[in-house]
Amino acid sequence: MKKFLLKIMPEHSWIMLSIIVIFNFVTYFGTRLFTTGLKHYNIALPLDEKIPFVPVFISIYILAYAQWIIGFIVIGRAKKDISVRIFTAELIAKAIALICFIVFPTTIEGLRPDEASLYGHGIWSEITAAVYKLDAPDNLFPSIHCLESFVCLAGAVRIKNIPQWYKVTMLIMTLLVFASTVLVRQHVLLDIAGGVAAVCIGLFIADRLPVKNLNIRKD
pLDDT in tens, 26-41: 998 999 888 888 899 9
pLDDT at residue 215, as a whole number: 46
Cis peptide before 52 (omega within 30 of 0): no
CA angle 8, 15, 17 (to 5 degrees): 75
Rounded Cα gap, residues 114 and 14, in angstroms = 40
Structural domain including 198 reads 2-213
pLDDT at residue 117, as a whole number: 76
DSSP state of 113: P
pLDDT at residue 104, as a whole number: 95
Instruction: Look at residues 152, 202, 209 and name the one whose alpha carbon lies nearest to residue 178.
Output: 152
Rounded Cα gap, residues 119 and 32, in angstroms = 28
Structure confidence by residue, pLDDT tens digits, 78-137: 999 999 999 999 999 999 999 999 999 999 977 888 876 787 778 999 999 999 998 888
Assess if residue 144 is contained within a domain.
Answer: yes
Q: For 100-119, b where at least 16 C-beta lie within 10 A, e where not — what string?
A: bbbeebbbbeebbbeeeebe
Assess if residue 219 is contained within a domain.
Answer: no
Q: Helix 58-76 vs helix 144-158: angle between axes, to the nearest 10 degrees?
A: 40
What's the pLDDT band for 212 if we cut at 50, 70, 90?
A: low
- Summarize the confidence of residues 56-72 as an average pLDDT: 97
Structurally, how many domains does the chain consist of? 1
pLDDT at residue 96, as a whole number: 98
One-letter amino acid at 19 equals I
Which residue stretches of the chain are H helix?
2-8, 11-25, 32-35, 46-50, 58-76, 80-103, 115-118, 123-134, 144-158, 164-183, 189-206
This prediction has a pTM of: 0.91
Mean per-residue pLDDT of the chain? 91
Assess if residue 50 is contained within a domain.
Answer: yes
Rounded Cα gap, residues 55 and 184, in angstroms = 5
Range scoring the smallest mean pLDDT among 71-75, 118-122, 157-161? 118-122
CA distances (Å), origin 198, targets 119, 138, 147, 148? 36, 18, 7, 10
Q: Which of 5-14, 113-122, 181-190 is the most confident on average?
A: 181-190
Assess if residue 218 is contained within a domain.
Answer: no
* Number of alpha carbons in the 13 Å side-chain half-sphere of residue 154: 28
pLDDT at residue 218, as a whole number: 39
